[in-house]
Chains A and B, each alone.
Chain A
Amino acid sequence: MGDWSSEIISHIDREHIISLLNKGERSDGRALDEFRPIEIEVGVVPAKAEGSALVRLGDTSVVAGVKVLVGDPFPDSPDEGFVMVTAEMSPMASPLFDIGPPREDAIELARVVDRGVRESETVDIKKLCIEHGKYVYSVFADVYPLEYDGNLIDASSIAVNAALATTRFPEMKVEDDTLVETGNILSIPLTNTAVEVTIAKIGTYLVVDPILKEEMVQDTRLTIAVDENENMTAMQKGGGTGPLTLDEIDQSMGIAIKRSHDIISAIKDAAKTIK
């Protein structure tokens, strides 16, 4: 996910990855534009979280949970609730992650996943208002990586989308100046879904959903959020300083659009299991 080009990888591995790419192959047998198998388990924190999902992307796995709280609106948007995504690179997930406050790469992960959700206007935040200027629902989706074998961004994006799609919380209303439950159960007002697809550039090749060893040799990566209407809603170039040509960006968008269909339908299928 981050820039691991400074991490040590053997010359043998580096040359192996590149010589395979020269033949159009990858070390795990995938096509260049093929994702690893995606497994989505929803409702993994049923007693405490309003929504949750555990996502496996090959040997990368993350768990995401959603908490819905009632808070004050921001002064400049008195009739809007808000959604926030955070992520932490827990040292549990990889020997490469350190203990301590989040570093740049953890902050990038959280912000890129957050942008994917927010910029696509996935959630109709006006519907998260309880009383104008006073009470709104605030939705927190927090991601914890469990196993890191590359491409935390896409795994996190899938997990956040699946957790949001399966979130159920009690409706509140104001009665005599106090908040009370109405007895209704609400879902997050989702109007769109955008998923992130990450493409690594290694030499002159573009590979989707890179594993850790591919991230270690990548020149750069491009993450593209694609929504249900095939619009790009967020992008991030990171994970290295290598340049991208206009043609490479165009090709990457092509791959991202193609892969986004399967991912969005996998999320929707998983979400159906929660009423």
Chain B
Amino acid sequence: MSPEKKPDNLINAEGLRVDGRRIDELRPIEMKVGVLKQADGSASIRQGKTYIIAAVYGPRELHPRHLTLNDRAYLRVVYRMTTFSVPDRKRPAPSRREKEISMVIANALSPVIFLEEFPKAVIDVFVTVIQADGGTRCAAINAASLALADAGIPMKSLVPSVAVGKAEGQLIVDLGDEEDKYGQGDIPMAILPHTEEIVLLQQDGSFTREEIIEALQMGINSCKYLHEVQKDALKAAYVGATSDEDEENDDEDDDYLDDL
């Protein structure tokens, strides 16, 4: 029952967006690692009004057994929205949208995880959207890759993710809810930061070929920034906690973090 109105203009005469951002500006972002005690790994992300928590359990025994993969671990992602995360109450049962998003998140994260190290096991990633305000699948990937790292899952890299899109004919990054609903298109994407290869790509709306390339380039730049934010969040959870007790190891920690 939170009523929503369509804004007159998504970008005003000064080139600013509905929340005052420039076209290439991300929303304020806060990532935290290790937010849940029961999970093997966890992380939260606040990106504008979007608020998401991710938890990782595993590698552990897989139930039901018929899903077992003999040569690698099964990466199971469950993306769920709370009923109160959206303006109208979401029905509690999992929707088709939630199932599809779970799948594309798993596809984006799989390339960086050494799944072959854990044949027959499952690595569970549970994503709960507490408040949705656009870009939830991308924020979920940002948080989930931190939660995997927090769980000590061997990984090649973290996976940063952002949505790019178009409003009033201009390309924009990190779409908010209104830009997603009333804009001209949306491209959620995620990259491998060391190679800039793209591991999540979806699109709706209408773009020219040149616009797609330019939008993806803007997205890559934003993802590289997000990757730095992710690394800082990991450092905040681990380096700060160890440096007091064990100062000699500080250099090693730093080297390790540079490799992330």
Contacts and interface: CB of A to CB of B under 8 A. Distances in A.
Contacts of B39: 92, 147
A118 interface: no
A137 to B, nearest CB: 9
Interface in A57-111: 59, 61, 63, 65-70, 86, 88, 90-95, 98-99
Contact of A48 (B38, B85, B92): B85
A67 B131 CA distance: 13
Tell me if B's interface is mostly helix, strand, loop or mixed: loop
A142 B3 contact: no
A148 interface: yes
Given A91-B78, A92-B39, A148-B38, A50 B92 contact: no
A246 interface: no
Given A45-B84, A48-B84, A48-B87, A146 B36 contact: yes
A135 interface: no
Contact of B126 (A49, A70, A92, A169): A92
Given A92-B39, A94-B38, A142-B82, A69 B126 contact: no
Interface in B81-136: 82-89, 92, 124, 126, 128, 130-133
B interface, size bucket: 20 to 34
Interface in A139-159: 140, 142, 144, 146-149
A61 B92 CA distance: 20
A235 interface: no
A63 B3 contact: no
A45 B84 CA distance: 8
A45 B129 CA distance: 10
Interface of A: 44-50, 52, 59, 61, 63, 65-70, 86, 88, 90-95, 98-99, 140, 142, 144, 146-149, 169-170, 181
12 contacts: A45-B51, A45-B84, A67-B88, A90-B126, A91-B57, A92-B36, A140-B89, A142-B82, A142-B83, A142-B84, A146-B53, A148-B38
